[in-house]
Amino acid sequence: MVSRAAILLLMGLLGMVYQATQLPPPNRNSNDSNSITENEASPTPRIRLSDGRYLAYREKGVPRDKAQHKIIIVHGFGSSKEMNFLAPQELIDELGIYFVQYDRAGYGESDPNPKRSLKSETLDIEELADQLEIGHKFYVIGVSMGSHATWSCLYYIPHRQIKICIFESLLAGVAMIAPVINYNWASLPESVVRQDYRKRLIQWALWLAKYSPRLLHWLVTQKWLPSNSVIEKNPAFFNTRDIDILKIIPGFPMLTKEKLREQVVFDTLRGDWMVAFGNWEFDPLKLSNPFSHNTSKVHIWQGYEDKVVPSQIQRFVSGNMPWINYHEVSDGGHLIIHYSGLCEAVLRALLLGEENVSYRPRPNRDILVS
């Protein structure tokens, strides 16, 4: 019998992964004159993908045709194109930044993809960039669980640098904010993850999602589980700064029991979870620098006190990939994207190569996997 404690931990981790990309109520009145609209009945612009699915998106920042830098933002678990990315408007105008935020397959107003995979996530990003004709290069920022699509871009997209044509774009750089770790990566040694309770919990949830989805659906909608408001205040899931952030942003609307009872919501979350934590077609730790060997255009931002992804594991990953720029928020939890100044620092590092010493990881810190 599955224990109540295991279910509580699962719900807490699900909520934390989701909360990292929390969103305000969607704006259904978006009407951007620069957008490509394939379906006039849609309240927001969408593109039609090569497999017939529609992908919804929104544009922010400076106009596309006047931008100096173009960025695609990949939302995380349970989020959408409406997620907050709190970059100062002055910086956006100064650097000429254009953003595209889109609903990944099955989220928001985008059609589900029953064949969802790491590669399909990347192909969606490629087609979005091509159909919007965003130029000869673009950047990708992945948040929390959306980082599995960002890792996939590093594996699948660089080939475009040798076959670029007039309407094709290429990857100029990536940033991952509080990216989740897949414990199935072959190069993660047992010594690094052995005592991490999250590994067994995620593997257990993955087994249920794959082999017994009906049982999982029943478990996550039971009345005896605590409310989201209880989970939000639990220091086992959030550090002090995270809990302060949770007082001023919304709760977990997509993870309420009422929403999870909707089959389409449950199926989307289940499919995303299975791709993020299932068997990958590649091992990220075996990737080589897809850019110039003299240039590092890949960044990871991590909270030292993150209770979803221990910084010990994140440090191990980046430490074995010297071409990755690793940044750490010393008192940060999993919700660092909401911290004042973080998004500005991400943009300055990604676009200008500027390093904010405040986010330089402190050496010789003992990091325990609890």
* Residue 85: band (very low, low, confident or very high) from pLDDT cuts 50, 70, 90: very high
pLDDT, residue 171, reads: 86
Which contacts (CB < 8 Å, 24+ apart) does range 258-267 have? 260/217, 260/220, 260/221, 261/221, 264/106, 264/112, 266/213, 266/217, 266/220, 267/106, 267/112
pLDDT tens for each residue of 45-80: 999 999 999 999 999 999 999 999 999 999 998 888
- 163 Cβ contact list (under 8 Å, min separation 6): none
* Residue 247: band (very low, low, confident or very high) from pLDDT cuts 50, 70, 90: confident
**254: its two tokens:** 């997509």
How many other β-carbons are positioned within 10 Å of the β-carbon of residue 367? Answer: 13
Which contacts (CB < 8 Å, 24+ apart) does range 104-108 have? 104/74, 104/75, 104/146, 104/149, 104/272, 105/53, 105/55, 105/268, 106/264, 106/267, 106/268, 106/271, 106/272, 107/75, 107/78, 107/79, 107/80, 107/268, 108/26, 108/56, 108/80, 108/81, 108/82
- 121 Cβ contact list (under 8 Å, min separation 6): 104, 105, 148, 149, 152, 275
pLDDT, residue 221, reads: 79
Higher pLDDT, 30 or 236: 236
The verdict on pTM exceeding 0.95 is: no
Cα(323)–Cα(299) distance, integer angstroms: 9
Window from 8-22, 150-164, 190-204 with minimum mean pLDDT = 8-22
pLDDT, residue 10, reads: 57
- 193 Cβ contact list (under 8 Å, min separation 6): 183, 199, 313, 369
CA 169 to chain centre: 21
Label the pairing between strands 137-143 and 170-177: parallel
pLDDT, residue 249, reads: 73
Is residue 197 over pLDDT 70?
yes
**198: its two tokens:** 């999250």
pLDDT, residue 296, reads: 76
> Could you tell me the domains of the chain?
1-370 (3.40.50.1820)
pLDDT tens for each residue of 262-305: 888 889 999 999 999 999 999 999 998 888 666 779 999 999 99
Is residue 255 over pLDDT 70?
no
Q: Which of 58-62, 185-189, 240-244 has the highest mean pLDDT?
A: 58-62
How many other β-carbons are positioned within 10 Å of the β-carbon of residue 240? Answer: 11
pLDDT, residue 1, reads: 44
- Decide: helix, strand or coil at residue 141: strand
Higher pLDDT, 201 or 160: 201
- 230 Cβ contact list (under 8 Å, min separation 6): none
**8: its two tokens:** 């509580």
Cα(220)–Cα(13) distance, integer angstroms: 12
Alpha-carbon dihedral 71, 13, 317, 197, rounded to 10 degrees: 180
User: 357 and 181 in contact (C-beta within 8 Å)?
Assistant: no
Nearest alpha-carbon partner for 201 in 20, 336, 18, 370: 370
User: 209 and 219 in contact (C-beta within 8 Å)?
Assistant: no
Cα(216)–Cα(209) distance, integer angstroms: 6
Higher pLDDT, 104 or 366: 104
- Decide: helix, strand or coil at residue 56: strand
User: 74 and 107 in contact (C-beta within 8 Å)?
Assistant: no
3-state secondary structure 165-196: CCCCCEEEEEEEECCCCCCCCCCCCHHHHCCC
pLDDT tens for each residue of 8-38: 555 555 555 555 555 443 333 333 333 333 3
pLDDT tens for each residue of 211-235: 999 988 888 777 766 555 445 556 6
